[in-house]
Amino acid sequence: MNDIWQKSLLVVKHRVDPRVFDTWFKPIKQLAANETSIELEVPNRFFLEWLKDNYTPLLQDSLKEATKREYSIVWRIGKDKGSVSIRAHPLPESNKPSSNASENASDRIVKEAGLAQKYTFENFVVGSNNEFAHAACFAVANHLSSKYNPLFLYSGAGLGKTHLLQAIGNRVIHNRHTIKVYYYTSERFMNEFINCVRHEKMTDFKNKLRNTDILLIDDVQFWAGKEGTQEEFFHTFNALYDSHRQIVLSSDKYPKDIRGLDDRLRSRFAWGLIADIQPPGTEVKIAILKKKAEEYGITLSDDVANYLAAISGTNIRELEGYLIRVGAVSSLSGKDITLNLAKDALKNIIVESHPKVLTIEDIQEAVAKFFNIKVSDLRSKRRHQNIALPRQIAMYLAREYINASFSVIGELFGGKDHSTVIHACKKVKKNIDSSPEIRKSVESIMSRLK
């Protein structure tokens, strides 16, 4: 059994890019194995977290393909610069426990709830961009209350919705083991629903959901156009709401802006409290980097933190990915993390992943310049014709090319309401089809933005 990992590596090697293989898989060492589990060692904690978050299915599939058996993986962290070894003495193969056997009751409850223990309120970085959403989630976790029911979070991708949803579940379970909690991604909810329909287990599915005390559903925009799933959740929502059970939902859009969503659900999603998360500023990104660096045992200087914050977009997962990439290069090369090392580690990634990120402010400036007006005019409440048309075009571009929500667009164009933005977008779209002059203007503005 000493060559299980080597056989699995051959499978992995044919499934990933050579650079990925050399960086993330070659350093893994096999410590021990028995008939049901394999003990693998990685250099440090951040290395382990990256593997678990990004390559767990690949690792398990490769082990199964190489050995024709299913193995649970027990991870150990080896001695490395800035980390502490937690390697256990090798156990007799006959009675070595699997990772599941070592879980305590709380761990099992968390796992059964669909949660990941790493998401807590304690390691969530609060800033001006997310403090309201954080406060709302914290209140729900500590005092399940109909006042915030449902709680609906919305933001762009990678800004912390999943972290906050799961932090609610983890805190509730930690404080009150008897409370039933379930966390679902919208896709997993839909797949479980379909599976139960096919296997005539809908009664079990309904009982499970409707007997829960707090239901957490992530990315409900995925249900757009999925009529069967929406219908089932509509009845689940009613049952939970009527029995004063807590519902927490997240989406990348405001409820009214989710196209293909049943009006009944759209209305119910707005019954309680709606909280948004804005993109983080530089200070918040630096705070996140330092928090993550501390968790992973990475020594991060201010100049490197400032650099990573400056080159990253608004996606926190991307920011964390940069940190882990730099940390991995430092660990595997044996070099300290310097500004030059960080730049060298990320030079290819930045070129590939960071074309210019278009913002509403960019669109406003381009439109103002094209029509020879001031940006402040677009953001004002003035209705003069020489401002109204450019403003409508800018709103249309913000919706079509950035996919900003109607409510956000309205706020950035003089506090216009939802219906005004919708009307503007429809009008410009119609004019593009019927007016060559307006179509040419829009195309000219877009060419300036590229």
Please state which of the ranges 37-41, 110-114, 347-351 shows the lowest mean pLDDT: 347-351
Which class is 282-353 in CATH?
Answer: mainly alpha
Query: 211 or 102: whose pLDDT is higher?
Result: 211
Query: 100 or 236: whose pLDDT is higher?
Result: 236
The CATH number assigned to the domain with range 4-102 reads 3.30.300.180
Q: Which fold has domain 360-449?
A: Chromosomal Replication Initiator Protein Dnaa; Chain: A; (1.10.1750)
How would you classify residue 346: left for phi > 0, otherwise alpha for psi between -120 and 50, otherwise beta? alpha
What pLDDT is attached to residue 144?
Answer: 72
For strands 72-77 and 214-218, give the pairing: unpaired
Reported as type and span, the H/E element at residue 251 is strand 246-251
Whole-number Å distance between alpha carbons of 189 and 192: 5
List of E strands, 59-130: 72-77
Give Cβ neighbours of residue 302 (< 8 Å, ≥ 6 apart): none
What pLDDT is attached to residue 248?
Answer: 96
Whole-number Å distance between alpha carbons of 202 and 386: 59
Q: Please say if the pLDDT value at position 298 is more than 80.
A: yes
What pLDDT is attached to residue 145?
Answer: 62
What pLDDT is attached to residue 83?
Answer: 35
Residue extents of the structural domains in the chain = 4-102, 131-276, 282-353, 360-449
Q: Please say if the pLDDT value at position 91 is more than 70.
A: no
Q: Please say if the pLDDT value at position 176 is more than 60.
A: yes
Per-residue pLDDT, averaged over 317-332, amounts to 84
* CA proximity to 300, closest of 287, 316, 281, 317: 287
Q: Please say if the pLDDT value at position 105 is more than 80.
A: no
Task: Tell me if 130 sits within 8 A of 285, measured CB to CB.
Answer: no
What pLDDT is attached to residue 177?
Answer: 77
Q: Please say if the pLDDT value at position 166 is more than 90.
A: yes
What pLDDT is attached to residue 170?
Answer: 93
When pLDDT is cut at 50, 70 and 90, the band that residue 403 belongs to is: confident
Q: Please say if the pLDDT value at position 99 is more than 60.
A: no
Per-residue pLDDT, averaged over 218-244, amounts to 91
What pLDDT is attached to residue 201?
Answer: 87
Give Cβ neighbours of residue 202 (< 8 Å, ≥ 6 apart): 196
What pLDDT is attached to residue 77?
Answer: 85
Per-residue pLDDT, averaged over 11-24, amounts to 84
Sign of the four-CA dihedral 25, 31, 34, 36: negative
Q: Please say if the pLDDT value at position 372 is more than 60.
A: yes
Arithmetic mean of pLDDT over the chain: 84
Superfamily (CATH) of domain 131-276: P-loop containing nucleotide triphosphate hydrolases (3.40.50.300)
What pLDDT is attached to residue 181?
Answer: 92
What pLDDT is attached to residue 114?
Answer: 87
3-state class of 449 per DSSP?
A: helix
List of E strands, 29-134: 29-33, 37-42, 72-77
Whole-number Å distance between alpha carbons of 395 and 403: 10
Query: 187 or 54: whose pLDDT is higher?
Result: 187
Q: Please say if the pLDDT value at position 82 is more than 60.
A: no
What pLDDT is attached to residue 218?
Answer: 93
Question: Whole-prediction pTM value?
Answer: 0.63
Measured in residues, the chain has a length of: 450
Q: Please say if the pLDDT value at position 413 is more than 50.
A: yes
Whole-number Å distance between alpha carbons of 413 and 421: 9
When pLDDT is cut at 50, 70 and 90, the band that residue 233 belongs to is: very high
List of E strands, 58-213: 72-77, 151-154, 181-185
Structure-token pair, residue 255: 């409820």
Per-residue pLDDT, averaged over 237-262, amounts to 91
Within 10 angstroms of residue 421's Cβ, the number of other Cβ atoms is 25
What pLDDT is attached to residue 448?
Answer: 80
What pLDDT is attached to residue 20?
Answer: 79
When pLDDT is cut at 50, 70 and 90, the band that residue 390 belongs to is: very high
Strand partners, 37: 72
pLDDT in tens, 109-154: 888 888 888 899 998 999 888 999 999 999 999 887 668 999 999 9
DSSP string for residues in 334-358:
T----HHHHHHHHHHHHHHH-SPPP
